């Protein structure tokens, strides 16, 4: 007879809300008339994400003292709760962007179900506190995303994206699993805290097995966070996947993967800090270099943003490499405006795609800013935010990241980050230039249907919300950083 541990349902509530929403969406595939499936799925999914946000917020409020629950398989603390809020927020916006996406009706219910389940997997992952739940959460959301990437089979590149993501992602998962096995072999422990304890007690910090395992775990997580040199899948998948899925992935996957990286490195491998801080800093530099340099030559906007997301993984890895409370705070703060800007910019791309019925490139953005000022200005603000200009949260995020690196004593890393920012200006401002400074006459493309573009109120609302978060996080630094401080305080 297996004795079941006590289950803290409250700690699981955000995950459960999303699981439930996904199940209802799937039921809709058989119970709801065909025409109503899309609004039904979108509504249920949106409520699921909204419920998850509320549940995570409550969880944050009532989890001032972090502790393991459900047999210590997951950690109930503010770090997880805050990350869940960011993931669910990104998902919530992604649903709004999806609602008017011209996808075929065949799999619309499955689409929303998978979206909710991917969110559930990520929410679960951010609280994982054993190597087992870590792998479970990772696969959970990855499998949902593999299917989501390939769901629009009529879209050129969608199947390819799904397959590529599956193969490369599978490789990453295998690496992670192998690394976990090695760590378990070296320490005989699965729980993060016990691993740290075993390393300290048994003096394993120079154990080859453990160090190899650690390296593989970092690599496996690097795949999910799309940090160089594990980034190869990112541009193709971001480009091929339906744009709302890309929007969700770029924000939520990164949040889940990076928060978990921080958690696992800080709580399970404190004795190895001398090693992994350097390793993560090297990954950060590689990501900054690869992401920024490759983005310079991209013409396709989705591809460019994919490389930009690699470079932002680099910035956030700087915060992790700092291995101090300020770094934790920097990471959690950074994720808020970053997620909003990511979802927002992909939403604008989705809108332009629908207008042109063609992939969006720098060239065919010409004049878009004047034609649709709200979307144009929003996209410009997101780009300026990515580039770290003031009046966006991107600025404060970068400032905190650099401050954390400096406090760790790594001024060189600050210089690398600053240099990377300087390079990134070229392509971010290139978008602003395309939007506003080139006349649309240069572009010999007419909107598909002719006449004025569809109003798309839902999408515009999502973009406006993302804009509000991007700009608002610049002014409301104090409450956000206070939240991030408590969250990071759970592990530091």
Partner 1 sequence: MHWLSTALILLPVGAAVGIWILPLRPFAVGSTALLVALAEVALWIDSVARFDFSKPGLQLDQQTSWFSDLHVSYHVGLYGFSLWLVGMTVVVMAAAIAYAFWAGRDRPRAYYGLMLMLTGALVGVFVAQDLLLFYVFWEAMLIPLYVLVGVWGGAGRLRATLVFVIYTMAGSLLMLASIIVLGLSQGTFDLVGSGTNGSDWIFLGFAAAFAVKAPLFPLHAWLPEAYRESSPEVAAVLSGVVSKAAAYGFLRIAISKFPGPTSDFRIPILVLAGCGLIYGSLLAFRAPDLRGVIAYSSLAQLGLITFGLFAVNDLGINGAVLQMVNHGLISATLFLLAGGIERRAATGELARLGGMARGRPALATVLMTTGIIALAVPGSTAFAGEFAILAGVFRTGWAWAVVGCIAIVLAAMYMLRLISAVLHVAPGPSVSEAALDLRPAELGILVPLVACLLVLSAWPAAITDRSFGHSPTRALREVLR
Exactly one of 20, 171, 433, 443 binds partner 1 (CB under 8 A); that residue is 433
Exactly one of 317, 343, 362, 432 binds partner 1 (CB under 8 A); that residue is 432
**Kind plus residue range of the DSSP H or E element containing 88:** helix 78-99
Residue 368 tokens read as 């878009």
Q: What is the DSSP string of 208-234?
A: HHHHHHHHHHHHHHHHHHT-TTS-THH
- Nearer Cβ to partner 1, position 178 or 399? 399
d(CA 419, CA 409): 18
Cβ atoms within 10 A of the Cβ of 448, count?
A: 12
The backbone torsions φ and ψ at residue 176, rounded to the nearest 5 degrees and listed phi first, read: -60, -45
Cβ atoms within 10 A of the Cβ of 23, count?
A: 15
Residue 72 tokens read as 């210590």
d(CA 479, CA 166): 39
Minimal distance, residue 91 CB to partner 1, in Å = 28
406 binds partner 1 (CB under 8 A): yes
150 binds partner 1 (CB under 8 A): no
- Nearer Cβ to partner 1, position 105 or 482? 482
- Nearer Cβ to partner 1, position 107 or 407? 407
Collapsing DSSP states into helix, strand and coil, what is residue 191? Answer: strand
Exactly one of 7, 36, 200, 437 binds partner 1 (CB under 8 A); that residue is 437
Residue 233 tokens read as 């899948």
d(CA 308, CA 236): 13
Using the rule CB under 8 A, give the single segment among 138-146, 150-158, 177-185, 420-428 that binds partner 1.
420-428
Exactly one of 88, 190, 265, 481 binds partner 1 (CB under 8 A); that residue is 481
Phi-psi group of 360: left, alpha or beta (phi > 0 → left; psi -120 to 50 → alpha; rest → beta): beta
Residue 288 tokens read as 């900054």
Q: Give, in degrees to the nearest 5, the angle at Cα 344 between 52 and 473.
A: 75
390 binds partner 1 (CB under 8 A): yes
Beta bridge partners of 392: none
7 binds partner 1 (CB under 8 A): no
Are residues 179 and 243 in contact, defined by beta-carbon separation less than 8 angstroms?
no
Collapsing DSSP states into helix, strand and coil, what is residue 223? Answer: helix
Exactly one of 12, 128, 396, 466 binds partner 1 (CB under 8 A); that residue is 396
Beta bridge partners of 74: 69, 128
Q: Binders of partner 1: how many residues, by CB under 8 A?
A: 33
d(CA 357, CA 384): 27
426 binds partner 1 (CB under 8 A): yes
Minimal distance, residue 359 CB to partner 1, in Å = 24
- Nearer Cβ to partner 1, position 197 or 407? 407
Using the rule CB under 8 A, give the single segment among 98-106, 110-118, 205-213, 384-392 that binds partner 1.
384-392
Closest alpha carbon to 249 in 264, 232, 230, 234: 234
296 binds partner 1 (CB under 8 A): no
Minimal distance, residue 453 CB to partner 1, in Å = 19
The backbone torsions φ and ψ at residue 67, rounded to the nearest 5 degrees and listed phi first, read: -155, 155
- Contact code string over 247-286 relative to partner 1, x by CB under 8 A: ----------------------------------------
Minimal distance, residue 101 CB to partner 1, in Å = 29
- Nearer Cβ to partner 1, position 297 or 415? 415
In the region spanning residues 328 to 367, those forming contacts with partner 1, defined by CB under 8 A, are 329
The backbone torsions φ and ψ at residue 80, rounded to the nearest 5 degrees and listed phi first, read: -60, -45
Minimal distance, residue 355 CB to partner 1, in Å = 21
d(CA 204, CA 25): 49
Minimal distance, residue 394 CB to partner 1, in Å = 11
d(CA 492, CA 490): 6
Helices (H), 297-410: 301-321, 325-356, 368-371, 373-386, 393-407
Minimal distance, residue 403 CB to partner 1, in Å = 5
d(CA 82, CA 3): 31
Minimal distance, residue 436 CB to partner 1, in Å = 6
Minimal distance, residue 428 CB to partner 1, in Å = 10
- Nearer Cβ to partner 1, position 171 or 389? 389
Residue 474 tokens read as 């610049």
233 binds partner 1 (CB under 8 A): no
- Nearer Cβ to partner 1, position 166 or 304? 304
Exactly one of 54, 275, 425, 443 binds partner 1 (CB under 8 A); that residue is 425
- Nearer Cβ to partner 1, position 197 or 433? 433
- Nearer Cβ to partner 1, position 202 or 411? 411
Minimal distance, residue 415 CB to partner 1, in Å = 6
- Nearer Cβ to partner 1, position 123 or 384? 384
Q: HSE-up of 414 (CA within 13 Å, CB side)? A: 13
Using the rule CB under 8 A, give the single segment among 129-137, 203-211, 422-430, 454-462 that binds partner 1.
422-430
Residues that bind partner 1 (CB under 8 A): 329, 370, 384, 389-391, 395-396, 399-400, 402-403, 406-407, 411, 414-415, 418-419, 421-422, 425-426, 429, 432-433, 436-438, 477-478, 481, 485
């Amino acid at each position: 007879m297996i004795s079941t541990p006590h289950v803290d349902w409250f700690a699981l509530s955000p995950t459960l809300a999303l699981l439930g929403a996904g199940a209802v969406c799937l039921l809709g595939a058989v119970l709801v008339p065909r025409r109503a499936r899309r609004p039904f799925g979108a509504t249920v999914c949106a409520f699921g994400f909204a419920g998850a946000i509320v549940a995570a917020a409550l969880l944050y409020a009532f989890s001032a003292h972090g502790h393991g629950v459900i047999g210590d398989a997951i950690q109930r603390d503010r770090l997880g709760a805050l990350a869940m809020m960011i993931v669910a927020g990104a998902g919530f916006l992604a649903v709004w962007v999806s609602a008017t996406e011209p996808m075929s009706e065949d799999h619309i219910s499955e689409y929303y179900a998978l979206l909710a389940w991917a969110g559930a997997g990520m929410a679960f992952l951010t609280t994982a506190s054993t190597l087992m739940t870590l792998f479970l959460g990772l696969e959970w959301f990855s499998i949902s995303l593999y299917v989501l990437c390939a769901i629009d089979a009529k879209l050129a590149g969608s199947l390819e994206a799904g397959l590529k993501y599956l193969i490369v992602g599978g490789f990453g998962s295998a690496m992670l699993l192998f690394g976990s096995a090695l760590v378990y072999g070296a320490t005989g422990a699965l729980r993060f805290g016990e691993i740290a304890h075993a390393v300290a007690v048994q003096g394993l910090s120079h154990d080859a097995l453990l160090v190899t395992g650690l390296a593989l775990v970092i690599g496996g997580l690097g795949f999910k966070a799309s940090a160089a040199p594990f980034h190869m899948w990112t541009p193709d998948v971001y480009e091929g996947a339906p744009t709302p899925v890309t929007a969700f992935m770029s924000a939520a996957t990164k949040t889940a993967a990076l928060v978990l990286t921080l958690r696992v490195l800080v709580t399970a491998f404190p004795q190895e800090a001398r090693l992994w801080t350097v390793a993560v800093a090297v990954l950060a530099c590689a990501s900054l270099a690869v992401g920024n340099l490759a983005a310079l030559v991209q013409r396709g906007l989705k591809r460019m943003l994919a490389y930009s997301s690699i470079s932002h993984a680099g910035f956030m890895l700087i915060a992790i490499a700092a291995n101090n409370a300020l770094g934790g705070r920097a990471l959690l703060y950074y994720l808020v405006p970053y997620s909003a800007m990511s979802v927002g910019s992909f939403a604008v791309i989705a809108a332009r795609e629908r207008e042109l019925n063609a992939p969006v490139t720098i060239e065919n953005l010409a004049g878009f800013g004047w034609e649709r000022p709200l979307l144009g200005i929003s996209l410009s603000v997101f780009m300026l935010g990515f580039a770290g200009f003031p009046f966006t949260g991107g600025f404060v995020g970068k400032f905190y990241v650099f401050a954390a690196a400096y406090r760790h004593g790594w001024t060189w890393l600050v210089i690398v980050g600053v240099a990377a920012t300087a390079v990134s200006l070229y392509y971010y401002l290139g978008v602003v230039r395309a939007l506003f400074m080139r006349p649309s006459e240069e572009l010999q493309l007419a909107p598909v249907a002719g006449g004025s573009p569809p109003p798309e109120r839902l999408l515009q609302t999502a973009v406006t919300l993302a804009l509000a978060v991007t700009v608002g996080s610049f002014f409301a630094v104090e409450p956000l950083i206070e939240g991030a401080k408590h969250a990071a305080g759970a592990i530091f």
